[in-house]
Amino acid sequence: MKKLSNISDKERKKMVKKIAMFCVLALSPVLMYSQQTDTLSSGEFEFTLEQCLQYAFDNSYSRKVNLLNEESSEAVYQQSRNNRYPSVNASANETMSHTGTASDVNFSGNVGVNASVTLYQGGNIKNTIKQNRLQAEETKIRSAQYDDNLKIEILNEYLTALSCMERQKYQLGILESSKQQLERGKRMFDLGAMVESDYLMLEAQYENDKTDSLNTVISLENSLLNLKKYLSMSADAKLTIVEPDTALIYQMALLPSEQEVVSAAKQHMPDMQLALSAIETADIAMEISKAGRRPTISASAGISTGHNNFDDFSLQLKDRLSQQIGVSVSYPIWDRGSAKLQIKKAEIQQKQAELDLKQTELEVTRTVVNQYRATALEYQKYLAYQKRKDAYAASFEVYKKKFNVGSIIAVDLLERQNNYISVLNDYINAKYGFMLKRKILDVYTGESAGM
């Protein structure tokens, strides 16, 4: 190996380059990991509606609690199935005894295995399994019910945020126009070509437009904050939502018939499924209550042995080996009316479940029909306000030109501007109101809530 003092400048430069390259290659994984960690820890998210829903389903704390409830109900159901099988117990004991003043100490012991199984309990075991299976299914239905409500909450905040974003774009244009009007008014007022009252009105309009814009910004931030709550996302995370293609609004307007929507909602909505499950639960409760009047048959078997002291220990175990097997039957003769009471309560439960189903069906039908008709009405309002918005925007532009050439006073201009702002707000409310109602209708019928 050459000594460093003997290396030429050219060779030394090559060596330095090789060492630098080696360091870069060696540290690149660390640098990449560091960059990824910085990105993840920054808490920045840019989500579409579908991504918001998926993030909520993966991270919602309340939803995780529901999943744990499902797991618990499933465990109870599986345990009830195991109750069909025998239970087996093993026992062992060893006793030391001393009597009187003699020095003798006696030892005795027993060991045994016993098994028992219920052969028949009036159908109680079978029906308890059915009951626990239904309860496990109901837990899943309630989770689905939570998911639907979560979708609606996310839709509401997501579309509210979108409406604020669109309103903000219009307001920035109006604010810029108000600023230009105020500047021109100031020049005209300084020249004596505008009365003070008109100038003050322009000034007040500009401040009012600034307030409206700030209010929209705050509303947007509040909607994003609420959205992060439903996503179980940290409040200090930076969440940006992606605007969907607004051309989808015309596809969303293609509604199926009212009857088709009602029929699909009855098939999907968890409220209906829970009401139907309640009837089945009541029927099973009736069968369980009738088991109180039926006999119970059980079987048992066992084997045991023991010893007294340790003389001829193995022989003792052999001689004392015993086996038992038996069957027992019990029949209720008089339970002071307890079984009769349980049957009566089960009958009432059945009638209540049937009435609840009818009431739930009426409520679901009413809710879906109202939502369907409100959706159709909101779309018509959207179309009407869209035309009015375009008309008022054109009129406002004309009046701005007239004001600039001095053919109208500030009052006329501001009246047109405020009319345009009012129609603009109506248009945005109708647009996103329709989209929200339409997507809620999709949730009711089990369709995708995304856009």
Q: What is the mean pLDDT of residues 402-429?
A: 91
CA distances from 141 to 55, 277, 388, 391 (A): 21, 10, 45, 49
What domains appear along the chain, each with residue ranges and CATH number? 45-85+106-445 (1.20.1600.10)
User: Three-state SS across 383-422?
Assistant: HHHHHHHHHHHHHHHHHHHHHHCCCCCHHHHHHHHHHHHH
The Cα 166–Cα 160 span in angstroms is 10
What is the C-alpha R_g of the chain? Answer: 40
The Cα 274–Cα 411 span in angstroms is 61
Is 27 or 311 the better-scoring residue by pLDDT? Answer: 311
Least confidently predicted of 6-15, 32-41, 203-212, 306-315:
32-41
120 DSSP β-pair partners: 297
Q: What is the mean pLDDT of residues 150-159?
A: 95
pLDDT in tens, 303-326: 999 888 888 888 888 888 899 999
User: What local confidence, expressed as pLDDT, does residue 24 receive?
Assistant: 42
Asked if residues 70 and 139 have their Cβ atoms less than 8 Å apart, the reply is yes
CB environment 247-272: b (16+ within 10 A), e (fewer): eebeebeeeeeeeebbebbbebbbbb
What is the dihedral sign for C-alpha 160, 243, 249, 448?
negative
Half-sphere exposure of 153 (CA within 13 A, CB side): 17
The Cα 379–Cα 381 span in angstroms is 5
Position 32 pLDDT exceeds 70: no
Asked if residues 440 and 430 have their Cβ atoms less than 8 Å apart, the reply is no
Position 14 pLDDT exceeds 60: no
Position 192 pLDDT exceeds 90: no
The Cα 158–Cα 99 span in angstroms is 85
Asked if residues 5 and 193 have their Cβ atoms less than 8 Å apart, the reply is no
Asked if residues 409 and 340 have their Cβ atoms less than 8 Å apart, the reply is no
Is 189 or 37 the better-scoring residue by pLDDT? Answer: 189
Q: What is the mean pLDDT of residues 294-311?
A: 88
DSSP label at residue 184: H
Q: What is the mean pLDDT of residues 176-194?
A: 90
Asked if residues 270 and 120 have their Cβ atoms less than 8 Å apart, the reply is no
pLDDT in tens, 253-293: 999 999 999 999 999 999 999 999 999 999 999 998 888 88
The Cα 300–Cα 172 span in angstroms is 85
239 three-class SS: strand
User: What local confidence, expressed as pLDDT, does residue 101 receive?
Assistant: 61
Position 97 pLDDT exceeds 70: yes
What is the dihedral sign for C-alpha 141, 144, 150, 153?
negative
175 band by pLDDT with thresholds 50, 70 and 90: very high
User: What local confidence, expressed as pLDDT, does residue 335 receive?
Assistant: 82
The Cα 322–Cα 319 span in angstroms is 8
17 band by pLDDT with thresholds 50, 70 and 90: low
Q: Hey, what are 349's tokens?
A: 């439960």
pLDDT in tens, 320-350: 889 999 999 998 888 888 889 989 999 999 9
Asked if residues 69 and 83 have their Cβ atoms less than 8 Å apart, the reply is no
Half-sphere exposure of 238 (CA within 13 A, CB side): 6
Q: Hey, what are 49's tokens?
A: 């509606």
Position 37 pLDDT exceeds 70: no
Asked if residues 265 and 368 have their Cβ atoms less than 8 Å apart, the reply is yes
Total length of the chain: 451
CA distances from 127 to 87, 117, 133, 226, 290 (A): 20, 17, 10, 45, 11
User: What local confidence, expressed as pLDDT, does residue 28 receive?
Assistant: 44
Least confidently predicted of 6-15, 238-247, 274-283, 422-431:
6-15
Position 34 pLDDT exceeds 50: no
- The mean predicted confidence, pLDDT, of the chain is 87
User: What local confidence, expressed as pLDDT, does residue 265 receive?
Assistant: 95
Position 205 pLDDT exceeds 50: yes
Position 19 pLDDT exceeds 70: no
Of the chain, the percentage scoring pLDDT greater than 70 comes to 89
User: What local confidence, expressed as pLDDT, does residue 109 receive?
Assistant: 87
Position 30 pLDDT exceeds 50: no
Q: What is the mean pLDDT of residues 59-86?
A: 91
Position 33 pLDDT exceeds 90: no
Contacts by residues 445-451 (CB-CB < 8 Å, ≥ 24 positions apart): 445/261, 445/264, 445/265, 445/268, 446/264, 446/267, 446/268, 449/49, 449/53, 449/151, 449/155, 450/48, 450/49, 450/50, 450/53, 451/48, 451/49, 451/50, 451/244, 451/248
Of the chain, the percentage scoring pLDDT greater than 90 comes to 63
Q: Hey, what are 63's tokens?
A: 């939803």
Picking from 244, 64, 242, 233, the residue whose alpha carbon sits closest to that of residue 147 is: 64
Angle, CA of 166, 170 and 174, to the nearest 5°: 160
99 band by pLDDT with thresholds 50, 70 and 90: confident
Is 146 or 30 the better-scoring residue by pLDDT? Answer: 146
Least confidently predicted of 77-81, 98-102, 161-165, 370-374:
98-102
The DSSP element (H or E) to which 104 belongs, if any, is none
